[in-house]
Amino acid sequence: MMNPYEMQRARIVRIYRLTDDVKFFQVRPYMGTEVCELNYRPGQFMMISLPGIGEAPFSISSTPSRPGLYEFCIRKVGRLTEKIFELKENAVIWLRGPYGNGFPVEQMEGHDLLIIMGGLGAAPLRSLLLYALDNRELFGKIYLLHGARTPDDMLFREEFLELMHRDDLVCLLTVDRDDTGRWPAYTGVVTELFRYVKGIDPKNTYAAVCGPPVMYKFVVEKLVELQIPKNQILMTLERRMKCGIGKCGHCAIEYIYTCLDGPVFTYWDVLHMKELI
């Protein structure tokens, strides 16, 4: 019998430090020597475990359109992530998944995209962003709105600063505060970036939002103001999970499980399911 709790051995290929407490891990499953297609969707997550420490869910930050590696963006916040931070390149970690619904990328094709991220919300949304850029002809206009406290806190700062030079997307980056004096983009909160969002067709737009709980309320207000349909405003949520497969109960919200029915929900879901955000 297939055991859905069984883990797959994987190797950390490279580690980059993104901020003081966030590292970026490129991970390669043991599957022979070829570069393998990894079958997942932007917005899905995986369970990562270390023997003797435990297991927890992490968003996938990479895109399936770039095969061979899973990428994870991990903040040091607890016992497991502290241990993951101690690992060196070439260390073994254990994976299972991918889990969750992910973004409905097929439905999103042919639409304009607004991708709005704050803080660690960049982890799942980078997957969607890169997927859309790799399949650029399938989508309409693409806007990236990304907010962080300071330039030092901005995840994927260098990668996203590069995107500012591309003419097939509008990359709007902002920080609450810039002490360096060298920040080349905006200052202010992420909602202030909406004034630069122009020429989208709201009924034909999907918005994807992920960030700290406090961000949703203000961002969603702006999106509703723009008249984007409520079922086209997507958000990806965080919950405690012990299984990822709808059994352990921790991520239950009313009658749904975040791990099976989410983590991507629409604003309409949020309106009729009281506890989502």
Partner 1 sequence: MRVIKLDKTKLVEYLRSLEEWGEVWGPVRKGEKFVFAKKDPSEFDLTARRTILPPKKFFVPPRFTMFSYRDGRWEEEFDESRRIIFGLHPCDIFGILILDRLFMEHYPDPYYIKRRKNTAILGFSCLPDEKCFCIATNTHSVEEGFDLFFSDVEGEFYLVWVGSSLGDDLTRIREDLFDEDVTEEDIERYIEWRRKRDKMFKTDLDLTGMPEIVEISYKRPIWEKIGEACLSCGSCSMVCPTCNCYNVVDENVFYEERIKRDRHWDSCMFKEYSLVAGGHNFREKRSDRLKLFYTHKLTGFMSQFGKPACVGCGRCVDACPVGINVPNVAKALKGEKVDAIWARGEE
Q: Which amino acid is at 4?
A: P
39 forms part of the interface with partner 1 (CB under 8 A): no
**Judged by CB under 8 A, which stretch of 64-72, 125-133, 224-232, 254-262 contacts partner 1?**
254-262
| Contact residue for partner 1 among 3, 33, 39, 227 (CB under 8 A) | 3
Burial of 1 (0-12, 13-18, 19+ CB in 10 A): exposed
Is the peptide bond preceding residue 213 cis, with omega within 30 degrees of 0? no
Find tokens 């590069």 and name the residue. 162
94 versus 218: smaller Cβ distance to partner 1 = 94
Q: State the nearest-atom distance from the C-beta of 75 to partner 1, in Å.
A: 7
If one asks whether residue 86 binds partner 1 (CB under 8 A), the answer comes out as no
Degrees (nearest 5) of the Cα angle 23, 16, 52?
50
Choose, by CB under 8 A, the member of 83, 85, 94, 104 that binds partner 1: 94
List Cα–Cα distances, 106 to 96, 248, 253, in angstroms.
24, 30, 26
* Closer residue to partner 1 in complex, CB, 164/256: 256
The closest of 230, 250, 229 to 239, measured between CA atoms, is 250
87 binds partner 1 (CB under 8 A): no
CA-based angle 223:121:246, to the nearest 5?
100
Which of residues 21 and 152 has its CB atom nearest to partner 1 in the complex? Answer: 21
Binding to partner 1 (CB under 8 A): which residues in 198-227?
213
Q: What residues between 47 and 66 interact with partner 1 by CB under 8 A?
A: 49, 51-56
Query: Interface with partner 1 by CB under 8 A: which range of 11-19, 121-129, 174-182, 253-261?
Result: 253-261
Using the structure block, give the residue that is written with the tokens 């929900």.
Answer: 265
Residues 6+ apart with CB under 8 A from 201: 112, 140
Residue from 88, 165, 182, 274 touching partner 1 (CB under 8 A): that is: 274
Query: Smaller CB distance to partner 1: residue 75 or 222?
Result: 75
User: CA-to-CA distance for 21 and 132, rounded, in angstroms?
Assistant: 28
Give the footprint of partner 1 on this chain (CB under 8 A).
1-7, 49, 51-56, 75, 77-78, 81, 92, 94, 213, 238-240, 242-243, 245-250, 252, 254-255, 260, 274-275
